[in-house]
């Protein structure tokens, strides 16, 4: 059975790019764990729908256009002493991409290159934890490699 909960999922980041855009290249990086993660939203490749409607047949033909790997939305409890959160905030102020690694409970890993587009603080209400959110735009390399999935053995 491969169904699982999200409990135990972790996020790590690395400032460097991998030497090769595969599991081996990404695994060789030095990773920094981002602490106090409370949620990781959906992410993954989505193609643009391209349509063509010839006059004579009246029917719409649908094709795949370009694709976008999406954005990795992160929710977390703010910890200004956490090395991973500090590194994400620094990356937000840079035009350079960083590497990200999402490790799932069962050991599956998703590697990707991202741009940190935001890191926002939300103080919240009287009886709440001070939260933050980050938005990591997933990018592809010049060969079109985006998310690299490495399944646990």
Mean pLDDT per block of 10 residues along the chain (153 residues) reads: 88 97 97 98 97 96 96 97 98 97 97 98 96 97 93 90
In the chain the domains, ranked by start, together with CATH numbers, are 10-150 (4.10.410.40)
Which three-class secondary structure state does DSSP give residue 150? Answer: strand
Predicted confidence at residue 2, as pLDDT, reads 79
In the prediction, which pLDDT does 1 show?
55
* Whole-number pLDDT of residue 77: 98
- Between CA 16 and CA 119, with CA 46 as vertex, the angle to 5 degrees is 45
Structure token pair of residue 122: 């939300």
Residue 12 near residue 32, CB atoms below 8 Å: yes
Residue 79, token pair as written in the block: 């910890």
pLDDT at 131: 97
Q: For the chain, how many residues are written?
A: 153
pTM of the model: 0.92
Q: Please give the pLDDT value at position 153.
A: 81
* 71/141 Cα distance (integer angstroms): 15
Check residue 3 and give its pLDDT. Answer: 87
């Amino acid at each position: 059975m491969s169904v699982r909960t999200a409990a135990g999922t972790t996020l790590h980041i690395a400032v460097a790019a991998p030497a090769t855009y595969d599991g081996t290249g990404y695994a060789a990086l030095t990773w920094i764990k981002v602490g106090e993660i409370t949620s990781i939203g959906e992410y993954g490749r989505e193609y643009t729908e391209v349509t063509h409607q010839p006059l004579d047949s009246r029917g719409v033909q649908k094709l795949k256009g370009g694709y976008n790997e999406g954005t990795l939305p992160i929710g977390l409890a703010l910890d200004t002493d956490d090395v991973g959160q500090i590194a994400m905030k620094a990356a937000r102020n840079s035009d350079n991409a960083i590497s990200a690694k999402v490790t799932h409970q069962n050991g599956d890993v998703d590697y990707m290159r991202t741009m940190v587009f935001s890191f926002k603080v939300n103080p919240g209400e009287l009886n709440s934890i001070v939260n933050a959110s980050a938005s990591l735009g997933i990018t592809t390399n010049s060969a079109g490699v985006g998310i690299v999935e490495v399944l646990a053995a």
